[in-house]
């Protein structure tokens, strides 16, 4: 009888221990793998077409954006050339071309990494219909832009108040307001991430 009681006791203890180990295993949740950082995407909408910077110039050209300057220029590997202009009808943009490749390329075979649009009409030129990240355009209040884009630095000179939103090492947005009436004069977006 003692053996039966002892055997019964041992079985109960083993079942209890087995149940504990199952509970302990079920309480351990699988560890999630750390996620890679999600890099900031610079999106630009021009004439109802959205692009992600940097964008191949050929894609812009296909949609009617034509280089105003000498298009026979060769851009060296890893280099940037700023203050070039592309036009689509009455709209004109200030752009930077970027060559991330290992060889020199004709400008038309490189990427546009910066797009700047000015909010003014001059002669036959019209202010661009540009929209950037989260639908920001020339009519968006600066407070709304700050809320949407986050941290910024602010500089002021006699002509402009410049808000710079440095999203990461290779991506930024600049909003330039006129000092006199605090309206947006320039929207400039940039990304060199290939």
Tell me the percentage of the chain whose pLDDT exceeds 70: 78
Per the DSSP assignment, residues forming a β-bridge with 51 are 44
DSSP 54-102: SEEHHHHHHTT-EE-S-TT-EE-TT-EEEEEEEEETTEEEEEEEE--SS
pLDDT for the residue 41:
86
**Cα radius of gyration (the chain):** 29
What's this model's pTM, rounded to 2 decimal places?
A: 0.78
Q: What is the pLDDT of residues 51-107, one digit of tens each?
A: 999 999 999 999 999 999 766 889 999 999 999 999 999 999 999 999 999 999 999
Separation CA 128–CA 154 (nearest Å): 24
Q: What is the pLDDT of residues 108-158, one digit of tens each?
A: 999 999 999 999 888 888 999 999 986 999 999 999 999 999 999 999 999
């Amino acid at each position: 009888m003692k053996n039966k009681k002892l055997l019964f006791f041992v079985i109960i203890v083993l079942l209890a221990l087995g149940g504990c180990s199952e509970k302990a295993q079920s309480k351990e949740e699988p560890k999630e793998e750390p996620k890679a950082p999600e890099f900031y995407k610079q999106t630009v909408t021009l004439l109802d077409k959205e692009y992600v910077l940097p964008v191949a110039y050929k894609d812009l050209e296909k949609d009617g954006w034509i280089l105003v300057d000498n298009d026979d220029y060769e851009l060296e590997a890893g280099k940037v050339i700023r203050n070039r202009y592309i036009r689509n009808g009455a709209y004109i943009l200030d752009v930077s071309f970027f060559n991330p490749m290992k060889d020199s390329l004709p400008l038309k075979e490189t990427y546009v990494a910066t797009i700047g649009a000015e909010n003014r009409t001059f002669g036959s030129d019209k202010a661009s219909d540009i929209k950037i990240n989260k639908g920001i355009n020339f009519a968006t209040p600066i407070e709304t832009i700050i809320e949407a884009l986050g941290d910024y630095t602010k500089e002021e000179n006699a002509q402009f108040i410049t808000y710079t939103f440095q999203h990461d090492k290779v991506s930024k947005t600049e909003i330039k307001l006129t000092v006199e009436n605090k309206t947006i004069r320039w929207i400039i977006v940039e990304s060199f991430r290939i």
